[in-house]
Structures are given as structure tokens and as C-alpha cells.
Structure 1
Amino acid sequence: MRHKYIQHIAQVALAVALLGGTTSCEDFLNREPMSKLSPETYYTSAAQLEANLNDEYPNILPSYGQWDYGIYGEDNDTDNQTDDYIHDRFTTDQWRVPHTEEDNWKFERIYRTNFFLSQVMPKFGTAMDGSQNTISGTLPDVKHYIGEMYFLRAFEYFKKLQLFGDFPIITEPLVDNAASLVEASKRQPRNEVARFIIEDLERAAEFMKDVDKATTRINRDVALLIKSRVALFEASWLKNFAGTAFVPGGEGWPGAALHSGYAYPEGSIEKEIEFFLKKATEAAKEVGDKYMNRLTQNTGLVPQSATDPVNPILDMYAQEDLSNVPEVLMWRQYARGIETYNINAAACRGNYRIGLTRGLVQNFLMQDGTPVYTHGTYSDGDGYYMGDKEIGNVRMNRDSRLSVFLKEPGQKNILFEVDNNEGTEVFMEEPYPGITNSDSERGYVTGYVVRKGGSFNRKYYANGGGYTAAVVFRATEALLNYMEASYLLNGSLDATAQNYWKALRRRAGMDEDFNKTIALTDMSKEAENDWGAYTAGKLVDKTLYNIRRERRCEFMAEGLRYMDLRRWRAMDQLMENPYHIEGMHLWNTPMEEWYIGENGKSILIGDGSENSNVSSKERSEYLRPFERYAAQPGYEGCTWKMAHYLQPIMVKQLQLTASTPGDVSTSVIYQNPYWPVTADQPAER
């Protein structure tokens, strides 16, 4: 039995060596087996299935472990939030084709999900009623765990779809045969990959329908939510990139040689888009209708004493147990001294020098649903909008999602267990933003800092010792997915979409009349603040834009922004007009007085030299984190290349799958559009 298990490990190793290019066969053979039982005897009870799944959860699903250095990391390096180093993707030549990269084109998790299913499904049988099942345990539990693994495979594949587009579809453990492994490396059209993901999610939902597990586990509602996410992602990608090299059949599509004469399953790209939009609306509506009236309350207030009423929406990101929060479809549990993280400490300081952008802050509407620019200048306002010369002013009379989650100097951060000395990593009171502090843990990069993830209890603030729950999936996304998908499908807002939109604005404490907002929207003004105002370098219509705005504000700092910007094709305009990321209004405002040293002189250095600790007022009155001195990458703004919408495939992978050893031109894998096949080279366009 032990020999058979080691043979299995060797097959994993060869698959990773040929397809992932990161792990050697010897490395795997030298490891202790994960179990001393053979697969034939291990996958025979519901408890064993659950144990295997528990090992995969942290490897595939998002969690705070990925967010320690910035609230919900995927929002970082976008027009929403930033540190003070421009990401390579927003330069013309710093993002280059790798020769080898551990996380590039990696299949380990896919192999593990496939191996599980290959062992379990023959024991369960082909009858969905479970009449052929031989796995011990209650039938609903067995089915649920099978559904969870289908979900995990789908979720892992969705990551690959976002990174690479066209991708191999592999449903079985790869055999120990080089020719078979190379054949399996062939990329399939991206829409076929999306269809495969959706099929897995539909299987997951079907298998999980008979039992309601705790929301710390994947469940049917989560499967439907992610089905709507995937379907909307692919529909909007196909629509926005139609005719280009980024979709099957488009001009210059690199998959044309391998898939000669490719025809969409629905007959045309337009019908294919419709197929995905219908899938998205169908799944999103089932979840949205269930939770629309169960959204977490937002009082619009930030408690400032231990006797103040709790604001439930703040608490949603700062509790240990989210079991009784209906909006949270799934969450991850942490425990003091067992499994912890540092997100609390980050949220109670400067978020590890990651700040919200001026563009995001200005993008939030006023409480009455009107855009900020309808109330005087951004700088001075008109008395209803109070201007931006102090951070406290920008929070006044605004969408409560901004006024609650944007921190203001002088606010109390800790209200409970204030003398608990375990909480060492904390600012008891929010200080003036430490924009001159280069410390990676305590500095403030834009001056605007988000409160999401911070608790008012000091016990959570030991260094690396936070243990409040992590929100993984929220039902609110279903409402937003439906609004966008149905509008793209029908060209108008149906009754369901309108009701969803009103529910979101009602929860935010805003005027529910979104039509008033649409009528007052000036797209040229929105373009100053929001990359999502664009698709393919052109401004979108007002209704679609405001749906995008709603999504941006609702999911501030929750990791969806970069995904959305890519599927919207919202960065073409940067190629001609680089965008300058800005933070708070520093120069010629009372906030300059916050930075007077003990000698009575300003500690701000903005003279354009390499000693500068802030950008100069000659460039902008607003803080520009990439523009302290001329040699700083990003000094001339964020730019873009079309290739950057997808990741390049590493050269080693092309070499490993070449029919002539080392000759990448004979590889069965094609490189992504406009990326070269030579290592350490930037994109061609």
C-alpha cells in the first residue's frame, strides 16, 4: 500500500515538473506521505472527506493570511488604494516575462482536487439520489463534501481564468507519461474554461442542496454567488474585448492555430455573451432574493464611547463569530493563540502604508444621492459638501460607507479593554496621518485610511495576534452582480434590479432615487476619479457607470477591484493619458499645520529631491505617493499596455512543452497576446 501511495506522489511530482515547472520529482519522493493509508481505503467515510477538504480550504479560498500587508490585497495597486511604490503593471517596461515563477502556471491544487474526485466519485456512483453510494456517513453530508470539492476546483480554475484567459481543462489526475502530460497542457478557449467552471459550480450547488452547514463551510448559496461572479466576469470580458486578440476568434487571437475555425458553442460571440449573462442573472437572483431584506444594518455612526450603540456593519468586520450575520455567506474563523493574523493592528494604524486614493473618496456620493461635484469645487464645497481641506470634512453628509469606514484624526480607535496590555500594536486615538513616516507598519501613504477590519476592543491588537473572523463571501455581491448582468442583458433596469439598488442605498442611509443620481452624472467629471468610467478607452453610459460606482463603493477594500477593472477593460485610456494617483489635500490647507515639528518648523520636505518625504505643491496640492522625486517609478503617472490585462506565461513552461527541446516555437502552449516568448522582456504593446 505504501508503494502505491508513493507512486501517486511521483505522478503529482511529474505533473508539477512538466506543467508547473517549480517542483522536482525528488523533492516529492523525499517527503513523508500525507497518510499511511492508500487512497482505496482512505476516501471511505464522510469524516475522511471533510478532513481532506479542510486541508484545501486555506490553500484555495481567500483569507486574512493573504491580507496582512494591506486590507484585502487585490484592491491594492488600483485606483482605489495604493502603497508608495507603483506596481510594475502600470509601467511600460518593468513587468517582464519570467523564466520561472512559482505561482505562474501552477497545477498542484487542481491536481489535488482532481485526485479527490477521482477517488470519491466511483464510490458515490452516478445516481444523484445516492442509491449507489458506498461512503459511510449520512448521505447529505457525503453529498455536501463532494459538492465542496467541486466548488474548490471551480474556484481554483477561476483564478487561472483571470490570470491567463485560455487555459488547459484537466479533470483527471495526470498519468505518469510525458506525452500525455504535454497533450494535457494545451490551452482551451477561455469561454470553454468559464463554462467548465460554471458546470462545476452547478454540480456543487446540486450536491449541497440537502443540508445547511455552518457558514464557516462552503454552502449552496456560496456556489450560486460565485457562479454569478464567474458568469458575469466572462460575459463582460467577451463583450468588452470582442474582436481583439483577448477573445477566441478575435483579430490576432494566439489560439487560432491550435483551434482553427473555432466556433462558439452558442454560434456567435453575441450569443455566448447572452448565455453567460443569463447564467449570471439566474444565480444572482436566487441569492439576491433570499438576502435582499437581510442585509447588515449601517447606522452611519462610528461609536466613540463604550456606551454608544454598536454599528452592526462595523461589527461585521470585527467579530469573532459571524454565524448570526445572514449577509455573510461564508467566513473564516480564527482563534487566540492558535491561528491569528495582523489585520487588526494594520486597521488600527495606517494599514501598513496602504491608503485609499483621492479618486475613491471623491467618487462616493452625497447622502442625498448627488455627485460631489454638483456642490461647488472638490476643494471648497458649498456648505452641504464641506470640501476636502480637512479629512473630517470629506466624511460629512456623505454616503455612510465613506463616513463610517474612512478614519478621521482624533477619533477613538479603542473603546473596550483599554488597559489590556496584550494589545500593543494600536493607536488608541487616530493620529494625524503619518505621511512622512517611512515605517512600513506605521506610516500613512495617502492620508486616507480605511477602518474595515479594525475592532474597538484592544485584546485583538497583539502583534500578529488578531483573531476576529474574516469575511470571505457576502450576499451583497449577488445584488450587484444581478444589477450589472441584467442591465447588460436587457439594456434597462428591471424591477428586480431596481429593488436591489434601492436596498443597497437604503442600507447606506442614502436617498434611494438612483435615477436622480444618473441624471446628475457628468461622465467627464467621473473620469477624473474612476477608471471604471471607461471601457476600451471610451466613456460608458451613465446608468452602467453608476452600477459600477455602486459596486466600487460597496466593496471598498474587499479585494474585487482589480478583477472588475480587467473585465471592464477599464485601463486602455492610461496608455495615452497616464493617471496620477493622489491622496489627501495637503498643500494650502489647514492640514499643513499637522506637520509642524518641535522646533516650530514644518517637517514636510517637498522640494523634488530624493530627500523629499512628500510630493511638491508645484505638481499638485494633493499628496502624490509616486511623485516625491523625479527618479521615482511612476513619477509621470500610471500607464498601461494591452498585454497587461493577462499574465505572461513563463518561458520555462513553453520550453518544457516544446516538441523540439528548448525551442519555444514548437511548444503546444501559446503565449498570451503581446507578450514575447523571451525571458526578461516587457510586453510588446
Structure 2
Amino acid sequence: MSDKDKSILVEASKRSPRNEVARFILSDLDSAITLLNQSSPDGKKQRISKNVAQLFKSRVALYEGTWLKYFSGTAFVPKGPGWPGAAKSYNSNYAFPTGSIAGEIDYFLTQAMESAAAVADNVPLVSNTGIIESANNENPYFSMFGAVDMSSYGEVLLWRQYNQSLVTHNVPVYAQRGNYAVGLTRGLVESFLMSNGLPIYASGSGYAGDDYIADVRKNRDGRLQLFLKEPGQKNVLVNIGQGTHYTLIEPTPTVYDTDWERRYTTGYTIRKGISYDGLQTLNGQGFTGSITFRATEAYLNYMEACFEKNQNLDTKAQAYWRSLRTRAKVDQDFNATIAATQMEKEKKDWGAYSAGQFVSPTLYNIRRERRSELMAEGLRWMDLKRWRAMDQLITTADHFEGFKLWGPMKDWYKPEQLIYGATNDKSVVSDPARSEYLRPLEVRSNALSYTGVKFAMAHYLAPIAVEHFQLASDDGTAENSVIYQNPGWSLISGTAPTGL
């Protein structure tokens, strides 16, 4: 690299404050929105469109607005106490474009609302008939996630097509088994409302308990009824016998299996994205589509941004929420849900917290709706970070739990299948003395997670690699780099974060 190239690289490596980066992204997306067609030019929703750019803009704006709000007063935001960017001369006189961090928060939340509404007002939700097992795919909402061609679903804005001859995957096989050893947690399953809109613990909810998976699904939010697998359900309805790795009938969860392709880690597994077509179960040869963006997120983004900005829900946000609940076959009265919510009983949901404290019941139920609707769609980690939803784990360990293995469901298994014991290297399930619920991360005492999981504040952001500091330095040393490290991380490779 020439000296000239080096100087260009060093200058370009200066870190703008995060809100300025977010503003730049929004500006880029505004240009895209101006230039893009309203709908995908190929007619198949495999090219980006104005709706896609607007939805993505709402996601970026909501992320930054809520991040600035919940990390305000910390080193994780520009001009906050201990912000490492302040040590760089190019940031020493930085001023927020709106004059304050509160102004920036308001700006981003407003942008999130406007761009989300542009999508939600124009793209209706697909219908949910409530049907689970149907050879004719009579439930658009259910079938949408496992369709070969997703272009006919109005809610889908952008999707990736697969082809049996060109590019394939193995999701259909995983969905008919144990989800490749990725299970649903007890906390997630219990967060779903009853169909009458009440939390499971509320008086009059009608909750049937969790002695059996069938009980868990009774009278629940339609999304849990659709997507939580239950032993005895059919997994293949067409082209039966034409695959190689199909699971015709859903078995009792094989929590003891050491084969990760067949193991049910928590006992609870999801059928979201399943295909009932036996042809999709040729191992590694699945070709169902994959959703990249769907309009439902715009409904959720608007609701959340509206409440975060105004501390109330306008008529548009209320209408969006009722639409989502109606589609989920949950009573429309979200105010009844809010009134029945007891935050202390929602503590297994990290989304119930921000900065180590419970949020309001209204905000929590907005977050609950988001969790229920976007389950297993890859957005949860981003949400937890921007909500600052893991501070409580800094001092208090949490324990991941699955289904109630040590209740009546233990009779599904032979004693020799449920080997346990903290020091037994053959153990495959957790000791009932620890909990009647399966704890997949606490099977043996030599596991780092045996006493529960904790969190370090620094992990809200990842560390920047030392190599980048060296490249963005006139003399090649990390210490003299124009880049600054994220809070809690050092310039020494392989070191753990410090406390904040």
C-alpha cells in the first residue's frame, strides 16, 4: 500500500457517531425509495421495490431510535459519559443535528412511523383460516412460510427462490424433526396469550396447563396452535414416500437423542416453514422459498415507534394491532390484555425489561406481539439489543427451560432413555432435582452454563478486531489508530470484556 493510499484509508476510517451513520443509511434509503418502482419489477417479488426500501428504513430508524433511548446516559451513545469517541479530536466538538439526544430519538422514531405506515397502509395481511393439516394448503398464513413460490402472497415483499437443480437447503427435513436441535424455550411458549386475549396466569384465562404439549396448545393464540408441534400430527400429506428423510408422523420429542439432526433440545419445536410435500425431504434437496421481508413487520414497527415516541397509541397503531390479533385469532381487545398483565409474572421474557427494569404493561404487550408474530424469523437478537433487555443478567443468572419433562410426559420414555446426573458423562437430560422442566444447558456440571447464563454489558456491541486499528493508523500501531474501540473492550486480542 502506497503512502497516499494509506493516508486515504486512515482518513476514511474515522468513526462517525452512530446516529450519523444511521442518518446516512436513511438518506441512502430515501434515494432508493425515490427511484424504485412501487412493486418488484420482475413481478415475482425477487427484486427490491419501494415497499422493501420503506420497510427497511422503518427497521433502521426504529433500531436507532430505541437504542439511543435505552442507552442514553451511557458510553454506548454519542456524548454519553465515557463514550470512547470523545477521545478522538475529530469528535471533540460533536453536536447532535437536532440539538440533543432527545431530539435524535424523536427524529428516528418519527422516521420509523412514517416509513412503516407507507407499507402497512397499502399491504394487507394474508388470511389465517386456522387450518394446520391440509393437503390442499387451505391456510395462506401457514403455507406462506413453506411455499415453493412465495410471489402470490401479498404480505411477502421480497423472498429468495431456491431451485432443485441449482441451489437447495434442508429446512423441510429439519422442520419435520427437531429443528436441528434448536428448540423453543418455555419462556417463549408461555408468553403467547390465550385466544381470549388473557395471559396464561390471569384469572379466567382457561389455560389448560403444561403437563402435555397438547394442553399447552389448547385455546391459545392461533400462532402457537399453528406452529408449535405436537406428537401425532402429520408432517407429510402429499407425495408420501417420495422423499428419503421424511418424518411421516410427529413423534414424542427425542430429547435423549445425541444425533443433532434428530434431537429435540427443549421438547418444544416449531413447524413454521414446514412443507407437507414429501418431495421436499430428499436430504439437502429442499427448494421451498425463504422470506426476506414481509409487510407484517411494518405494522409492528409503527406500533412500537408510536408508543415509544408518544407514550400512547394513535388510531392507526390501534388498528394495526387489532388486525394482527384478528389474524392470530386472539380477542381484539388489547386493553384487556394490558390490564391483566402482571410484569413480575413475565420475567422469563427478556423483552419485559429495559436497562434492568420492567417496562410498562402496554409497551411489554407491544413487544409480546412482535415476539409472537416474528418467532423464528431472525429479528429477536436485534430487538433484545436495542431494547437493552439483558442488563438484569449481569448480576442474576437465567436458566433456559423447555417442556415439563419431569411431569406426566416422563412416562413417554423408558427410564434408560432419560439418563441424568451432574457428573455422569452419559447424561442426556437435566436432573429433575434442578427443575421439573428440561434444562438443556444444565445437563452436566462441567458445562459453563450449568449454573445459568449471565451477560456482560460490553456484549451489546461486538469488539472491533485489532487488525482494523493497525490498518487505520499512520504508524501501524493500534494505540495510534483513528478508530476507537467499543465500550468495555480492549485493544488486546482474545481478552474478555471489562465491567461497565
Q: TM-score range by the shorter chain?
A: over 0.9
2:150 counterpart residue number: 322
User: Aligned pair in 2 of structure 1 residues 217, 367: CA closer, same or farther (>3 Å)?
Assistant: same
1:683 counterpart residue number: 497
Q: State the alpha-carbon separation in 1 of the partners of residues 448 and 167 from structure 2.
A: 37
Q: Deviations over 1:48-76 (max 9, x none)?
A: xxxxxxxxxxxxxxxxxxxxxxxxxxxxx
> Does structure 1 residue 340 correspond to structure 2 residue 340?
no
* Alignment check: 8 A CA contact 2:182 2:264 kept: yes
1:615 counterpart residue number: 430
> Does structure 1 residue 204 correspond to structure 2 residue 32?
yes
2:409 counterpart residue number: 591
2:390 counterpart residue number: 571
In the alignment, structure 1 segments of 5+ residues that lack a partner are 1-13, 19-174, 377-381
2:216 counterpart residue number: 394
Q: Give runs of aligned pairs for residues 421-570 of structure 1, distance below 5 A.
A: 423-527=243-347, 529-570=348-389
Q: State the alpha-carbon separation in 2 of the partners of residues 497 and 657 from structure 1.
A: 46
Q: Deviations over 1:523-551 (max 9, x none)?
A: 00011x20010000011011111000000
* Alignment check: 8 A CA contact 2:469 2:478 kept: yes
* TM-superposed deviation, 1:452: 1.1
TM-score using structure 1 length: 0.71
Q: State the alpha-carbon separation in 1 of the partners of residues 321 and 6 from structure 2.
A: 53
Q: State the alpha-carbon separation in 1 of the partners of residues 145 and 345 from structure 2.
A: 32
* Alignment check: 8 A CA contact 2:156 2:291 kept: yes
Q: Which has the larger radius of gyration?
A: 1
Q: State the alpha-carbon separation in 2 of the partners of residues 653 and 403 from structure 1.
A: 48
* Alignment check: 8 A CA contact 2:38 2:50 kept: no
1:651 counterpart residue number: 466
Q: State the alpha-carbon separation in 2 of the partners of residues 261 and 365 from structure 1.
A: 49
2:457 counterpart residue number: 642
Moved more, 187-196 or 313-322: 313-322
3-state SS in 2 of match to 1:331: strand
* TM-superposed deviation, 1:211: 6.4
* TM-superposed deviation, 1:496: 0.2
* TM-superposed deviation, 1:375: 5.0
3-state SS in 2 of match to 1:278: helix
* TM-superposed deviation, 1:571: 0.2
In the alignment, structure 2 segments of 5+ residues that lack a partner are none
Q: Which of 178, 185, 190 is 1:357 aligned to?
A: 185
1:416 counterpart residue number: 238
Report sequence identity in percent.
52
Q: State the alpha-carbon separation in 1 of the partners of residues 37 and 140 from structure 2.
A: 29
Q: Which of 600, 606, 626 is 2:420 aligned to?
A: 606
Which one-letter code corresponds to 1:625 in the other structure?
P
Higher relative contact order (CA 8 A, sep 6+): 1
Which one-letter code corresponds to 2:288 in the other structure?
T
* TM-superposed deviation, 1:627: 0.3
* TM-superposed deviation, 1:176: 6.9
The Cα RMSD (Å) is: 1.5
2:483 counterpart residue number: 669
Q: State the alpha-carbon separation in 1 of the partners of residues 350 and 40 from structure 2.
A: 40
Query: Following superposition, which runs of at least 4 residues in structure 1 exceed 4 angstroms of deviation?
Result: none
Q: State the alpha-carbon separation in 2 of the partners of residues 207 and 554 from structure 1.
A: 31
Q: Give runs of aligned pairs for residues 86-105 of structure 1, distance below 5 A.
A: none
1:370 counterpart residue number: 198
* Alignment check: 8 A CA contact 1:406 1:448 kept: yes
Number of aligned residues: 494
Q: Which of 444, 457, 475 is 1:629 aligned to?
A: 444
* TM-superposed deviation, 1:581: 0.5
Which one-letter code corresponds to 1:268 in the other structure?
S
3-state SS in 1 of match to 2:194: coil
* TM-superposed deviation, 1:320: 1.2
3-state SS in 2 of match to 1:473: strand
1:277 counterpart residue number: 109
User: Aligned pair in 2 of structure 1 residues 275, 431: CA closer, same or farther (>3 Å)?
Assistant: same
Q: Give runs of aligned pairs for residues 207-286 of structure 1, distance below 5 A.
A: 207-209=35-37, 212-213=40-41, 214=43, 215-258=45-88, 259-286=91-118
Q: Deviations over 1:442-472 (max 9, x none)?
A: 1110010010111011011111100011111
3-state SS in 1 of match to 2:85: coil
* TM-superposed deviation, 1:576: 1.2
1:385 counterpart residue number: 207
3-state SS in 2 of match to 1:264: coil
* TM-superposed deviation, 1:212: 4.4
Moved more, 221-230 or 205-214: 205-214
Q: State the alpha-carbon separation in 1 of the partners of residues 52 and 262 from structure 2.
A: 36
Which one-letter code corresponds to 1:573 in the other structure?
Q
Which one-letter code corresponds to 1:279 in the other structure?
Q
Q: State the alpha-carbon separation in 2 of the partners of residues 607 and 204 from structure 1.
A: 58
Q: State the alpha-carbon separation in 1 of the partners of residues 39 and 422 from structure 2.
A: 62
* Alignment check: 8 A CA contact 1:333 1:469 kept: yes
User: Aligned pair in 2 of structure 1 residues 653, 284: CA closer, same or farther (>3 Å)?
Assistant: same
Which one-letter code corresponds to 1:592 in the other structure?
K
Q: State the alpha-carbon separation in 2 of the partners of residues 226 and 209 from structure 1.
A: 15
Q: State the alpha-carbon separation in 1 of the partners of residues 11 and 80 from structure 2.
A: 24
3-state SS in 1 of match to 2:377: coil
* TM-superposed deviation, 1:590: 2.0
Q: State the alpha-carbon separation in 1 of the partners of residues 473 and 30 from structure 2.
A: 36
Q: State the alpha-carbon separation in 1 of the partners of residues 451 and 52 from structure 2.
A: 42
User: Aligned pair in 2 of structure 1 residues 211, 631: CA closer, same or farther (>3 Å)?
Assistant: closer
Q: State the alpha-carbon separation in 1 of the partners of residues 38 and 330 from structure 2.
A: 39
TM-score using structure 2 length: 0.96
* TM-superposed deviation, 1:193: 0.3
1:181 counterpart residue number: 9
Q: State the alpha-carbon separation in 2 of the partners of residues 534 and 568 from structure 1.
A: 8
Which one-letter code corresponds to 1:605 in the other structure?
I
Q: State the alpha-carbon separation in 2 of the partners of residues 347 and 396 from structure 1.
A: 22
Which one-letter code corresponds to 2:269 in the other structure?
V
Q: State the alpha-carbon separation in 1 of the partners of residues 326 and 72 from structure 2.
A: 36
3-state SS in 2 of match to 1:544: helix
1:192 counterpart residue number: 20
* Alignment check: 8 A CA contact 1:375 1:385 kept: no
* Alignment check: 8 A CA contact 2:169 2:286 kept: yes
Q: State the alpha-carbon separation in 2 of the partners of residues 651 and 286 from structure 1.
A: 42
* Alignment check: 8 A CA contact 2:399 2:453 kept: yes
3-state SS in 1 of match to 2:179: coil
Q: State the alpha-carbon separation in 2 of the partners of residues 507 and 361 from structure 1.
A: 19
* Alignment check: 8 A CA contact 2:6 2:474 kept: no
